[in-house]
Structure formats: structure tokens, C-alpha cells
Amino acid sequence: MMLTPQQVQADEALLRLGQRLRADGYRFTCVTPATHARNNARQGTEQARNLRDVFGWSRPFAASLISNDELDQLRSAQVLSEESELLRSQIRWSSLDDMLLVHSAYPTDTNDAVFFGPDSYRFAQVIHDHLQHSPLRVEHAVDIGCGSGVGALVIARAAQHAQVTAVDINPLALRYTAINAALAGVSNVSIQSSDLLDGISGNFDLIVANPPYMLDAGQRTYRHGGGSLGAQLSLRIVDQACERLSPGGALLLYTGVAIVEGRDPLLEAIRLRLAGPEWAWVYREVDPDVFGEQLHEPGYEHVERIAAVALTVNRSA
């Protein structure tokens, strides 16, 4: 991943900002957009009063609220916007365990927005659970559509001997993943531009993915899953991953599915794909009802709920 000198300077400034916030004990749990909107609509939240308001809740702030160093770092990173007499950060910092991760500010309405949220926490837990119970030693792993780098970082920290690759088609996601890896002190993650696995070679002991699974009118990269109800990208990942798993290797897919009249179309499609004796797999609902506000959107007229699901696929040794 080749960066311009200006991008290198910007990313170094963001890394320094993350180091400063971590040293100051900053923590923030990222919530759904609906919960975020409700919090920001409350009386007294019109302007930031502390660092969590600035870098978590994405509220406008007076320049005097943060240090000159932090202001300089935001300016150097080119992620500071002006709103009348106030300023606003175009990035957020959120906590995952003892890590601090940079991602896009709220609202995430640009096509290259870098996602982090409740799905990220559930995705990390799926990986944690697998690594704790899997007898296979992970040597080569890949995080497909890495976003802010959650999957790659969780694996790299748990398996420090492993070579972990983080891939995404969004250049900004790759930059943020590199910053987050540096801030976490992780050195066994390589970062590469790729459309799923098309741009990288080799097979993997562990493949993880948390793809977008919504129908998005704007077809934003971090949100739009494609197909009739957002499942197209998840199925593409299953198809490609099964071709690239080493014997004994595993795919961990955390995604969502639109349930129509009690039917799970993603599960039905996966049953057809994984019917042979080469595959052992488990599919489970992690959360039966997520992003209920999406049901108001066009295309969801017959959807009764959206479920978060986790698929684990093991290839026979």
C-alpha cells in the first residue's frame, strides 16, 4: 500500500493522537447509529463538554476544549472541520478490550466510511471463542474486508507467531487498520488492497470476515451487501474462502440476514454450498434482532427481522 507523503504525515498525526488519548485513559464504547442519534438528540448535547463527546459522540466543540497538541494533530491529519465558531472531528476513537481504534465519525454517510460498532464487538467475540477452543495452530490468517482491522488485530494478538493479512477495497480502511495495528503494538499484520481474496495468493488456516449485509440505497461500501436482501457479499466470501482454506482450516463469517416469514435465505444457500463431506459447519444466531430501524427502508417490506449470525466452516484435514 503506497501512500503519498501527505498521507504518511496525516497517519502519523493520527497515531500520535491515539497514543495521547490512550495515555490519558480515554475509553468509548461505540453504539448503533440509532442509539447514537438518540443520545445526540438529548438536551445539553449540542456541544461537546469532554473528550468522549469530541472523539466518541462526534459532537461539535470549542477549540479551547482540547489541547493545542490534539488540535495540531487533527489538523495535520486533515480530519478537522469547522462549523461556524465550533470544530468537529471527522474521526472517532473507540475501545475494544484494551485497544483503541480509529474509525469514521458519526454519521457514517460517505462511501469510504470506515465502520466500527456493535457488530465489531460481536465479531471479535466470535474470533476469541474460536481461538480458545480450536486445536489447530494458526500460521496464516486473513481478515476479509478488514475495515478498522478488528479481526486481524484480534488474531494477531492471540497468535503472535502467525502471519495475518488484512485486506479491503477501501484505501481509507487500510490506512486506519495500519494506524490501529501500530497503536496496538502489533507487528505480524500485513495490509493489502484486495477485492475479497482476488488480490492475494496462497491458502489460509483461518479466514475471518464481517461483511456488510444491508440493502443500502447509496450502495456505500461499508454497508451494502448486495443481492435482493444484502446477502450476496456473504455468499461470495463463503465461495472464495472454501477454495482457499488449508486442510483443517476454518472460516469464521459474522454477518446478518434478513428473515422473511420465518425463512433464513442465507442458511438455505449455505446448506447447498456446504453439502459435501469435505465440510463440517455450524450456523447460529448471535442476536435475533439487530438494526430494526432498517425495516423502514425500501426493499424490506416483507422482512420481519434482521438477525446477526455466525457461520463456522471447517475443512477436513
The grid cell for 315 is 475443512
Q: Do 210 and 260 belong together in one domain?
A: yes
Give yes or no for a contact between 313 and 241, defined as CB atoms under 8 angstroms apart. yes
Q: How far apart are the C-alpha atoms of 49 and 77, rounded to whole Å?
A: 22
Strand partners, 68: none
Average the pLDDT over 308-313 and give the result. 98
Query: Pairing mode, if any, of strands 303-315 and 245-260?
Result: antiparallel
Q: Do 58 and 190 belong together in one domain?
A: no
So what's the pLDDT on residue 230?
A: 84
Q: Within a domain: residue 111?
A: no
pTM of the model: 0.95
Write the pLDDT tens digit of every residue in 57-100.
999 999 999 999 999 999 999 999 998 899 999 999 999 999 99
Residue 264, CA atoms < 13 Å, CB-side half-sphere = 16
**pLDDT tier at 317, thresholds 50, 70, 90:** confident
Query: For residue 207, what is the enclosing H or E element?
Result: strand 204-209
What backbone phi and psi angles, to 5 degrees, belong to 71?
Answer: -60, -45
So what's the pLDDT on residue 222?
A: 63
Give yes or no for a contact between 221 and 111, defined as CB atoms under 8 angstroms apart. yes
Nearest CA-CA partner of 278 in 237, 236, 243, 232:
243
Q: How far apart are the C-alpha atoms of 244 and 231, rounded to whole Å?
A: 20
The grid cell for 249 is 482450516
| Domains: count for the chain | 2
Residue type, 41: A
Q: Within a domain: residue 113?
A: no
Q: Do 132 and 270 belong together in one domain?
A: yes
Question: Of 72, 104, 136, which marks where a domain is finished?
Answer: 104
Q: Do 72 and 154 belong together in one domain?
A: no
Question: Of 104, 126, 154, which marks where a domain is finished?
Answer: 104
- For 95, other C-beta atoms within 10 Å of its C-beta total 16
Average the pLDDT over 282-296 and give the result. 95
- In the predicted structure, residue 279 carries a pLDDT above the cut 80: yes
Q: Do 56 and 144 belong together in one domain?
A: no
Q: Do 155 and 28 belong together in one domain?
A: no
Write the pLDDT tens digit of every residue in 98-145.
999 999 999 998 889 999 999 999 999 999 999 999 888 999 999 999
Question: Which domain covers residue 157, as residue numbers?
Answer: 118-315
Write the pLDDT tens digit of every residue in 133-163.
988 899 999 999 999 999 999 999 999 999 9
Write the pLDDT tens digit of every residue in 200-256.
999 999 999 999 998 877 766 666 667 878 899 999 999 999 999 999 999 999 999
Is the bond preceding 107 in cis, omega lying within 30 degrees of 0? Answer: yes
Question: Of 44, 78, 104, which marks where a domain is finished?
Answer: 104
Q: Do 247 and 166 belong together in one domain?
A: yes
Give yes or no for a contact between 119 and 129, defined as CB atoms under 8 angstroms apart. no
Sequence-distant (6+) residues with CB within 8 A of 181 are 149, 152, 153, 156, 166, 187, 189, 191
So what's the pLDDT on residue 220?
A: 67
